[in-house]
Amino acid sequence: MEISSNGAETQPKFALPVDSEHKATEFRLFSAAAPHMRAFHLSWVSFFACFVSTFAAPPLLPIIRDNLNLTATDIGNAGIASVSGAVFARLAMGTACDLFGPRLASASLILLTAPVVFFTSIASSPVSFLLVRFFTGFSLATFVSTQFWMSSMFSAPVVGTANGVAGGWGNLGGGATQLIMPLVFGLIRDIGAVKFTAWRIAFFIPALFQTLSAFAVLMFGQDLPDGNYKRLQKSGDKQKDKFSRVFYHGITNYRGWILALTYGYCFGVELTIDNIIAEYFYDRFNLKLHTAGIIAASFGLANIISRPGGGILSDVMGKRFGMRGRLWTLWTVQTLGGVFCIILGQVDSLSASVAVMIIFSIFVQAACGLTFGVVPFVSRRSLGVISGMTGGGGNVGAVVTQLIFFKGSKYSKETGITLMGVMIICCSLPLLLIYFPQWGGMFCGPSSAKTATEEDYYMSEWSSDEKDKGLHEASLKFADNSRRERGRSVHSQTLPSNATPPANA
Amino acid sequence: MAARALLLGFILVFACFSDTCFAIIYFSSLQRTLVVTASHPQRLLKAGEDKITVTWGLNQSFPAGTDSAYKTIKVQLCYAPISQVDRAWRKTHDSLSKDKTCQFKIVKTPYTTTNHTSEWTIERDVPTATYFVRAYALDAQDQQVAYGQNTDAKKTTNLFEIQAITGRHVSLDIASVCFSAFSVVALMGFFFAEKRKGGKAQQ
């Protein structure tokens, strides 16, 4: 079912106010109006389902480790595998979104990874366990399609909020699963199944949920406010871009690499904690499986407000202080997350641990939301690739952190958590180096050179041949709309002009 | 003043009824006064099917009156060192409240001065590992006061292995395969339908 807009002449009607690219300028949470809010709800629910599946194993590990005769090393390896698959999957997803559209890209991935979740029920050894966790982890690449989709549907004033809420409510799955899986397991066991069978049956729940959400995306979603990629490409409204150019402009943008690293130390840390926290509380404080699951869940559940809060905060700071405000807030919040992580590893009592963990989760997840308040502005042509790099970097951070601190029995979990906090603080420093000529960086103001405008920045991604063919039109519109990133005091003096590209740039 | 004393007294009484009042018991402080033997049909046993026969009694070489405090005997299935390697959740701690060596209860009965035998069918949630059997003598407050085990102090002799159930069933396997195939086929179906729609729109 495609909601098709009318022909080029008549202005299509949208339920929300839109800008020149037909992206919504408002974010109305309780609406499901096509295409903007509907895309929002479809994307966060399907991403949520993928998170539930990827982290369905950790809360049941005390049972699974006995059934499959796992050692601590096996568990650590599986945890690393669960987040390493998505490193390249996220990059591939970014490119797929640029080329095929987020709807097809995400639904395909979800339906291709659903079988793996079903096969978790028949895992019978450490190796098979590692394999199912590895392939299930690929589904976390739907994060990129979520952010891409939101960045395509929502305009600059609300893009941070849209990205933050969609990402946060999707990440919620990592927390919800710590509650859902022990509950489902308990239910099935009480009906009469043996422990070692009950956990297997329990895995059907996340698998079915994932499958159904993909169907919904395919049936009710569309790529852009004006329609789906294929149809727009056929009618000439959207130009089909070349993979090599899109990829090139993405990976040569140094800001993408810095954000990839720093995202590894907010989101990567979040993934690591999702993998280790239930077992940490179960083993260290001798809790029941159910109780450890509830505590572990509260970490992921903070996402309901913390990541969206980060996105909203980014938009608020962007409105007042422009891009510089977004960058400063991101660095501050992420560094504070590192401080609380250090404290978490040091506290000894259960109640203090829970309290510190919740504070830590709020800061770390807000940093994730703040990161994706910056990402949409790094590139317009290669938005997918940049989103994919950043998202992939998140998973690299999770892999590296688990490899160094949480594999085998080298460090106790408490020590690992403290050291991870130190690493967060160190790896957030590169944010100081991000600089946009038209908006400035953390320590430098915008360049006063004449060629330092939004148009120059985004047009630099297109060659003059491509501009002659008119392929850059969408980027031009985006450049105009992004002028708000100069901040309130500057923006009010700058009149929005009909941007014409310089003659021979 | 009186109210404060009452409150303090109340807290103390309350504390004594909670677990935290009990003194920490160390395994190394327990005497090995019980003799425990475990017999089983073969060395490799199957969970849910095979039986272990456990016999325990006081070691007669100890003076009479050693067992005056014994009220209950708790016999447990314990992990051998080889099954504890790289598995911190089965670690042996000297402090018994933290000790995770013995996680399965075989039987808990009142103490009798004569030797006691019990037959136990291995439960289906026992994991694959190497085990030995240990019996704790508990006093009236359910605190360990003595122990006995069927292996030596280093836990190297008389060990036996238990093979767990897999937990898998044929019906589960079939359901997994069917649902997986359905997801992939449905995806193909969607692509096909999209292509046909796109073809129609062109005409």
Residues of chain B with C-beta less than 8 angstroms from the C-beta of A292: none
CA distance A455 to chain B (A): 35
Quick check: pTM over 0.95?
no
Cβ under 8 Å to B: A residues 180-239:
194-197, 199-201, 204, 207-208, 211, 214-215, 218, 230-231, 234
Question: Domain spans of chain B?
Answer: 25-163
Count other Cβ atoms within 10 Å, centred on residue A444: 11
Q: Which two tokens stand for residue B12?
A: 């103390």
Phi first, then psi: what are they for B21, rounded to 5°? -75, -25
Give the whole-angstrom CA distance, residue B125 versus residue B48: 8
Residues of chain A with C-beta less than 8 angstroms from the C-beta of B96: none
Which H/E stretch holds residue A69? none
The candidate with the shortest Cα–Cα distance to A439, out of A427, A431, A429, A447, is A447
Residues of chain A with C-beta less than 8 angstroms from the C-beta of B186: 111, 211, 215
Indicate yes or no: CB of A111 within 8 angstroms of CB of B184: yes
- Residue of B179, B185, B191 to mutate, testing the A interface (most A Cβ within 10 Å of its Cβ): B179
Give the whole-angstrom CA distance, residue A298 versus residue A295: 5
Residues of chain B with C-beta less than 8 angstroms from the C-beta of A234: 198, 201-202
Nearest to A283 among B88, B124, B176 (CB): B88
Indicate yes or no: CB of B125 within 8 angstroms of CB of A195: yes
Query: A66 and chain B: CB distance < 8 Å anywhere?
Result: yes
CA distance B133 to chain A (A): 19
Indicate yes or no: CB of A283 within 8 angstroms of CB of B180: no
Nearest CA in chain A to B48: A194
Q: Which two tokens stand for residue B156?
A: 């190297």
Position A478, amino acid: F
Query: B93 and chain A: CB distance < 8 Å anywhere?
Result: no
Indicate yes or no: CB of B167 within 8 angstroms of CB of A108: no
Cα A100 from chain centroid (whole Å):
19
CA distance B127 to chain A (A): 5
Indicate yes or no: CB of A112 within 8 angstroms of CB of B184: yes
Q: Would you report the helix, strand and coil content of chain B in percent, each value rounded to 5?
A: 30, 30, 40
CA distance A19 to chain B (A): 28
Count other Cβ atoms within 10 Å, centred on residue A220: 18
Class of the CATH domain delimited by B25-163: mainly beta
Sheet holding B34-39, edge to edge: B34-39, B51-58, B116-121
- Residue of B46, B79, B86 to mutate, testing the A interface (most A Cβ within 10 Å of its Cβ): B86
Query: B180 and chain A: CB distance < 8 Å anywhere?
Result: yes
Residues of chain B with C-beta less than 8 angstroms from the C-beta of A65: 87, 89
CA distance B190 to chain A (A): 8
Give the whole-angstrom CA distance, residue A280 versus residue A199: 20
Residues of chain B with C-beta less than 8 angstroms from the C-beta of A67: 127, 164, 166-167
Q: Which two tokens stand for residue B73?
A: 């005997």
Indicate yes or no: CB of B167 within 8 angstroms of CB of A200: yes
Indicate yes or no: CB of B127 within 8 angstroms of CB of A283: no
Nearest CA in chain A to B84: A71
Length of chain B: 203
pLDDT tens for each residue of chain A, 505 residues long: 444 444 444 456 788 888 888 888 888 888 888 788 999 999 999 999 999 999 999 999 999 999 999 998 999 899 889 888 888 888 888 888 888 889 999 999 999 999 999 999 999 999 999 999 999 999 999 999 998 899 889 987 888 888 889 988 998 898 899 889 999 999 999 998 899 999 999 999 999 999 999 999 999 998 888 878 776 766 666 666 777 888 888 899 999 999 999 999 999 999 899 888 888 888 888 888 778 888 888 888 888 899 999 989 998 998 899 899 999 999 999 999 999 999 999 998 999 999 999 999 999 999 999 998 899 899 888 888 898 899 889 999 999 999 898 887 788 888 999 999 999 999 999 999 999 988 888 888 888 777 778 888 888 888 887 777 777 777 887 788 788 788 876 655 544 444 444 333 3
What's the per-residue H, E or C state across A421-452? HHHHHHHCHHHHHCEECCCEECCCCCCCCCCC
Q: Which two tokens stand for residue A357?
A: 């963990």
The candidate with the shortest Cα–Cα distance to A174, out of A268, A261, A81, A94, is A268
Cα B76 from chain centroid (whole Å):
7
Task: Reply yes or no: is the peptide bond before residue A35 cis, omega within 30 of 0.
Answer: yes
Give the whole-angstrom CA distance, residue A485 versus residue A156: 8
Q: Which two tokens stand for residue A134?
A: 């590895």
